[in-house]
Structure 1
Amino acid sequence: MSSIRLKASFTAFNDSTPGIGVIANFKGKTVYQETLGLANCELRVPIQLDSVFNLASVSKPFTGMAILQLIERGELSATDKLTRFVPELKHYANEVSIYELVHHSAGFIDYNELLWQKARQHALHSDNAEVLSLLVQQDQPRFPPGSKFDYSNSNYVLLALIIERITGLSLRDYLKRYIFGVIGMENSTVFNEEQPVVPNRAYGYEPCGANWKCNYADTFATGTANVFSSLEDLKKWDDALYGNQLLGEVAKRAIFTPGLDSAGAPLTEYWGGYSYGWMIQERCGAKTIWHTGGDAGFRSIIVRFYEQQFSVILLCNSASLDWAETYAFIERLYGEFQPN
């Protein structure tokens, strides 16, 4: 039994505050699981393994998987131009490829910056249609496509639009049919402008003086955020990534291959690399793919030490999560189990 405890590791949370849930997965077996705090502070509902959190940017790997599935099925190519599917952007994005979207080298301004410029008057209505309308109003990219790495949420909204236009399915229906439903992620969905009822839903909070402020939602944009899922379901996702239920071995290699710029050089050295919704980096002396998320009072992270088949999944419903504490906690878990 592990000696590591959430209360000792995360000083901002207790049984009366928003909190954290964690699962560590080693070769398909849960070797650590713990929850702390409340999923709903108003009703004093504690966080459980099946509590459903907004994953924020940890949604991006699901979008990346959907794109790879379409590529594997021959419905899409990484070299295809964006405007084949989104002709509304032909006036300045004719050269942008799918490859550049998935690797954040397309040159699109982050739609959040455009919303801030509008004073976020319609923040709760920033669905994919509005994001596209904001991008259409631009007249040039921030830099030549493929020339450098620039993390932009707009890229993954555009990927969601491509998925929907190719398949005729909403992103929610696509993920349910080809990912969630395949591996039994029964408590997972995509939260969009339809605002579906989400059983076991956790709500996001941020400190407000001595109290907590509840955040309902910050955006309805999908592809980049708004996959809602639980610790239990994310363990199923982690397990499935080692097999071929979702994607064949050849296509899956792209997840572990850092993106290159138009000159063939690595796009980013800061993270080690980025590909199809995953950051690629060495941690604790081991290779990992990982991603963090932060939105509407939620914070999330999944770190996959894939050669050791050891992963840590952490979900939090407070904007006050300390990332330094979080990384130290993950390193302690890895050090305790020392998978090999």
Structure 2
Amino acid sequence: MEITLEGYYEGTYTNNSAGIALIAIKNSNVVFEDYRGLANCEHGIPITSSTVFNIGSVSKQFTGIGILQLIESKKLCEQDLLVKYIPELKHYADEITIYHLAHHASGLADYNDLLWKKARNNALYSTNAEVLSLLEAQQQLCFKPGSKMEYCNSNYVLLAIIIERIMNMSLADYMKRNIFDAAGMKHTLIFDEKQPLVPNRAYGYEQHESDLKCYYVDTLATGCANVFTSISDMKLYDDILYGSKLLGQDIKKRIYEEGIRSDGKALYDSCGGYSYGWMIQNKCGQRTLWHTGGDAGFRSIYVRFYEKRFSVILFCNCSNLNWTNIYKLVNDLYYKFNHDE
């Protein structure tokens, strides 16, 4: 079966539009790749394996690794209370643990919802400091911590703040020293309120009939989003995840384990379980770790069929991405390169 992007998008992404970067990896080898469209439509710059995309919520797994590194080095415990590190929330969030944050079981309000209440269109330019201020102004949780799973960006902003306070450095510096550099990801960074220069940067777009609207940034919050990276760097990251350079094998097992509710049952929502920045679900009859992302005109998906050592990574700089087509593409790529196993 031949797979081409045209078969899934019918010419939506052309050499004159915003586009897509896609690879499939089998046993650390790139077995499929395709690059279509422009990283910058104003200047006609094409997308390549080196183009740097905003990967949205796929960023959460890097925060999860940072937290697990601190647990492994005994600077932090899963059952530590949030208010041990962020006492500003002690008036209503004194039962929340690190475990609850990492598994989306905290009961905190999502900061995007709070920004909408302030009439902040698209959460524009919100920083971690503003997110914390918004959460500090709340008086009660949405549900009892540990009673259920509800995806919430605030959880990973707070985990980022905890890393910064424990390590006395910015999240950007921590990630560079302890994850990006370790994996050889030379073109990957955290885009925060400093708004650093990003070489080879793609810009995000939204299609309105024949017109493109350009987004420059939606939010400056980190921990939950704003890792900027390339397909080539993510391939290096995918490779290193199988080893022990970022995390020892014992602590890494926690990534593969769904969160557990206070009553001992698994924490699930419609996308499956969740742990330290990864969705956990069966796809194509195989156990997978996966996540999607969407921010500022960008869309992304990263799926790891880890028992088969097969991964699919797709970055897109147009918000009109059709997710139904994406999921079919991921399935077809899996069956094409794993049909005889």
Normalised by the size of structure 1, how large is the TM-score? Answer: 0.98
Which residue does 2:223 correspond to in 1?
223
Q: Tell me by how many angstroms 1:3 deviates.
A: 2.2
Residues 23, 314 of structure 1: 8 Å contact kept: yes
Q: Tell me by how many angstroms 1:210 deviates.
A: 1.8
Which residue does 1:7 correspond to in 2?
6
Q: Deviations over 1:22-56 (max 9, x none)?
A: 11111111111110111000001010001000010
Q: Deviations over 1:231-278 (max 9, x none)?
A: 000011111110000000000000000001111111105333100000
Residues 180, 188 of structure 1: 8 Å contact kept: yes
RMSD: 1.1
| SS of alignment partner, residue 91 of structure 2 | helix
Which residue does 1:180 correspond to in 2?
180
Which residue does 1:267 correspond to in 2?
267
| SS of alignment partner, residue 330 of structure 1 | helix
| 1:1-340 equivalence runs, <5 A | 3-11=2-10, 12-120=12-120, 123-268=123-268, 270-338=270-338, 340=341
Which amino acid in structure 1 is aligned with residue 115 of structure 2?
L
Q: Tell me by how many angstroms 1:121 deviates.
A: 6.0
Aligned counterparts of 1:19 and 1:125: Cα–Cα separation in 2: 25
Residues 258, 266 of structure 1: 8 Å contact kept: yes
Q: Tell me by how many angstroms 1:122 deviates.
A: 9.0
| SS of alignment partner, residue 308 of structure 2 | coil
| SS of alignment partner, residue 70 of structure 2 | helix
Q: Tell me by how many angstroms 1:169 deviates.
A: 1.2
Q: Tell me by how many angstroms 1:208 deviates.
A: 2.5
Residues 69, 247 of structure 2: 8 Å contact kept: yes
Which amino acid in structure 2 is aligned with residue 7 of structure 1?
E
Bigger mean CA deviation after superposition, 208-217 or 95-104 = 208-217
How many residue pairs match? The answer is 339
Runs of 4+ in 1 over 4 A off after TM superposition: none
Structure 2: gaps spanning 5 or more residues: none
Aligned counterparts of 1:171 and 1:18: Cα–Cα separation in 2: 30
Q: Tell me by how many angstroms 1:15 deviates.
A: 1.1
Q: Tell me by how many angstroms 1:14 deviates.
A: 1.1
Structure 1: gaps spanning 5 or more residues: none
Bigger mean CA deviation after superposition, 270-279 or 50-59 = 270-279
Q: Tell me by how many angstroms 1:332 deviates.
A: 0.9
Residues 150, 269 of structure 2: 8 Å contact kept: no
Residues 116, 122 of structure 2: 8 Å contact kept: no
Residues 182, 245 of structure 1: 8 Å contact kept: yes
| SS of alignment partner, residue 178 of structure 1 | helix
Aligned counterparts of 1:121 and 1:314: Cα–Cα separation in 2: 27
| SS of alignment partner, residue 291 of structure 1 | strand
**Percentage of identical aligned residues:** 54
Aligned counterparts of 1:239 and 1:338: Cα–Cα separation in 2: 18
| SS of alignment partner, residue 125 of structure 1 | coil
Aligned counterparts of 2:285 and 2:135: Cα–Cα separation in 1: 41
| SS of alignment partner, residue 22 of structure 1 | strand
Q: Tell me by how many angstroms 1:118 deviates.
A: 1.0
Q: Residues 270 and 125 (structure 1 numbering): CA distance in 2 closer, same or farther, change over 3 Å?
A: closer
